Structure 1
Amino acid sequence: MELLRRLRIEPFILAILAAVVIAAFLPVSGGAATTLGWVTTIGIAVLFFLYGARLEPRELRAGLRHWRLHSIVLGATFILFPLLGLLGQWLLAPVLGASLAAGFLFLTLVPSTVQSSITFVAIARGHVSAAVVSASVSNLLGVFITPLLVFALMTTDGSVTITWGSVGKIALQLLLPFIVGQIFRDRILPITSKIKRLALFDKAVIVLIVYAAFSEGVAEGIWTMVGVPQVLGLVGACIVLLAVVLSLTELASRALGFDDRDKRVVQFCGSKKSLATGLPMAAVLFVGQPVGLLVLPLMIFHQIQLIVCAWLAGRYERAAGEPDAKVA
């Protein structure tokens, strides 16, 4: 651990990279994948239960009222990202081909992540209650906005079917545990306040999400469809995209006079794209299309955003003080 500190390497980042490498060589499949899915689902639910238990009700009410912050996050997710995606598609099509360039555009149209966005805000000592609202609203609205954006900005064959399944999943897996945590806060808080390394649970859930998502892609054989130069080109494009959005969201939140806690919400919630939401959407949006190629940019961006934001959250965490202090 001392060597890692001297090299300024976050153990959290190493854990994420290890999950990617293990998934590449030992992807989970079959019954094990089903079990991992349930473990991840339960872990996320517990995570949000603990968030609810740790947040004071007045913090949550303040988060709901923070309309300027939520507007910036939604604007970054559904306006800034798509504009950059259109530019990226135009630049990348001659180099990567039409399908991968279209996939790059698609990744910019999906909603923000929920669990990882809020987890990074919590790690970075940001305004967690506002993050819960921003990320959840983004994901819920994305069920409707993303198909409309796909119709408006992409050429697709087949039909789009919108169901309430994803909405129900968000409500049951994320919002309900959070509300229950709020209800039983007075009973749970004395227990959680005595657990000094509770932040490790937040990070462990993120590592599980990375392993599960990357395993799914490997099991589908997506890496056999493209060459190394194309993958490297996509990686470079995704890095540039994330850097631009992180910079612009930081500048916007600073220009609007947000405090540091709210800046973390704008940065982490406004710069994420959800693989968990994007993959199911792609399956129904692109019937008869090369879905594997269309979702590859999203898969790559998802891994990059987790690694970069893990580093960034750790940097903010160190600047804020004690790593395992309680997040309010």
Structure 2
Amino acid sequence: MKIKIDKFVVSIIITILIAYIFPQWGTQESKVPINTISTIGISLIFFFYGLKLSPSKLKAGLKNWKLHILVQLSTFLIFPLLVLLLRPFIQNSAQETIWLAFFFLAALPSTVSSSVVMVSLAKGNIPAAIFNASISGIIGIVITPLWMGLFVNEMQTDFNFTEIYLKLILQIIVPVIIGLLLQRFLGNFIQKHNSKLTFFDKSIILLIIYKSFAESFEGNIFSTVSFLDLSLILVGVVILFSIAFYLTGFLSKKLQLNTEDQITAQFCGTKKSLVHGTVFSKIIFGNMASIGILLLPLMLFHATQILIISIVATKKVAKNSNL
């Protein structure tokens, strides 16, 4: 079986290397207006996201309510609760930062594009995948900051919940609503240029990743993270994904979902959005020096989920073709 290398994962690695070699471009003192560019880019990403959402398709997708509830519970409840179980074992500030990074990962919504692609590859319920991945992003705008607000204010003295939601409303919710209102006029145009918009989205995400890691490298934050720590984070990511994946599969069988819906539940309910993660980190964590570390589990999870889901999807296709 041939496993394709995800080009975006490679781009992330290259971006982190550039941030390590040239961190000065992404610091607060830099004359390059990365912060302004990324702020405008975030609003455009969610404006285009609103343009892609079809209200009629979302309405039609409400019928399969058992599947939808399972996917959203997995995304916003099962994942956070799994990470919360580890909180009593925190012994120092370094461990607390890594735990918060995992909790941030767990509180994020699902990702649209890769969820739909993988569900399609494994012959799952594609309309349900589109519905759940899309609605997950909308729910995440509200739920993710609520989850993070329980713990971020313990580490960040200037955490302002009102300010966080004001930024979310202005930078994300308003653009999404405008996009939804214009969807009937520009929806078809956006679909035709979807590949260009995907390139734009990824470019903005790479820019935010660069700035986050540049500031962390400049502040020598990663000196506290050893190779052993990095390995343990990767192991933790794989374990978290595996538990959520098999637990979602178990619950989907208990709910007596058909095979297509079981595939959709597992593939959509265990994905986490790198787009939302990088955007939310910029708004929620602000100028925290450890923001690079806070994004580390998310990026490792992004690469891991693509690899594992690709293998699982390919095996399901092979199994179904032999039936």
Same fold by TM (over 0.5)? yes
Cα 1:162–1:64 shift into 2, 3 Å: farther
Pair 1:298-2:301 in alignment: no
- Tell me by how many angstroms 1:213 deviates: 2.8
Normalization by structure 1: what TM-score?
A: 0.69
Query: 297, 304, 308: which is aligned to 1:308?
Result: 304
**Which range moves more in the overlay, 185-194 or 19-28?**
185-194
- Where do residues 1-328 of structure 1 align in structure 2 (5 Å cutoff)? 8-27=4-23, 28-30=26-28, 32=30, 35-62=33-60, 68=66, 69-70=68-69, 72-87=71-86, 90=89, 98-110=92-104, 112-113=107-108, 117-121=111-115, 124=118, 127-148=129-150, 162-195=160-193, 197-198=195-196, 199-253=198-252, 256=255, 257=257, 258=261, 263-269=266-272, 274=277, 277=280, 298-311=294-307
- Tell me by how many angstroms 1:304 deviates: 0.6
**Which range moves more in the overlay, 231-240 or 214-223?**
231-240
Aligned length: 300
User: Is contact 2:27–2:211 with CA below 8 Å preserved after alignment?
Assistant: no
* Residue-by-residue CA offset, 1:22-70 (whole Å, 9 max, x unaligned): 2222222236587223322333322322232233211233467776525
User: Is contact 1:85–1:104 with CA below 8 Å preserved after alignment?
Assistant: no
Corresponding residue for residue 319 of structure 2: none
Q: Distance in 1 between matches of 2:57 and 2:117?
A: 17
Q: Distance in 2 between matches of 1:174 and 1:123?
A: 25
**Which range moves more in the overlay, 233-242 or 122-131?**
122-131
Cα 1:279–1:54 shift into 2, 3 Å: closer
- Tell me by how many angstroms 1:74 deviates: 4.2
Q: Distance in 2 between matches of 1:307 and 1:8?
A: 12
Q: Distance in 2 between matches of 1:31 and 1:264?
A: 42
Cα 1:123–1:190 shift into 2, 3 Å: same
- Tell me by how many angstroms 1:184 deviates: 1.6
**Which range moves more in the overlay, 32-41 or 217-226?**
32-41
User: Is contact 1:103–1:298 with CA below 8 Å preserved after alignment?
Assistant: yes
Q: Distance in 1 between matches of 2:309 and 2:226?
A: 33
User: Is contact 2:75–2:107 with CA below 8 Å preserved after alignment?
Assistant: no
User: Unmatched 5+ residue regions in structure 1?
Assistant: 285-290, 320-328
- Tell me by how many angstroms 1:301 deviates: 0.3
User: Is contact 1:20–1:211 with CA below 8 Å preserved after alignment?
Assistant: yes
**Which range moves more in the overlay, 194-203 or 169-178?**
194-203
Corresponding residue for residue 318 of structure 2: none
Q: Distance in 2 between matches of 1:157 and 1:213?
A: 18
- Tell me by how many angstroms 1:306 deviates: 2.6
Identity among equivalent pairs (%):
19
Question: How much is the aligned-residue C-alpha RMSD, in angstroms?
Answer: 4.3
User: Is contact 1:82–1:108 with CA below 8 Å preserved after alignment?
Assistant: no
Normalization by structure 2: what TM-score?
A: 0.70
Amino acid at match of 2:14: A
Amino acid at match of 2:205: I
Q: Distance in 1 between matches of 2:184 and 2:147?
A: 38
Amino acid at match of 1:223: F
Corresponding residue for residue 320 of structure 2: none
User: Unmatched 5+ residue regions in structure 2?
Assistant: 121-125, 316-323
User: Is contact 1:118–1:132 with CA below 8 Å preserved after alignment?
Assistant: yes
Amino acid at match of 2:297: F
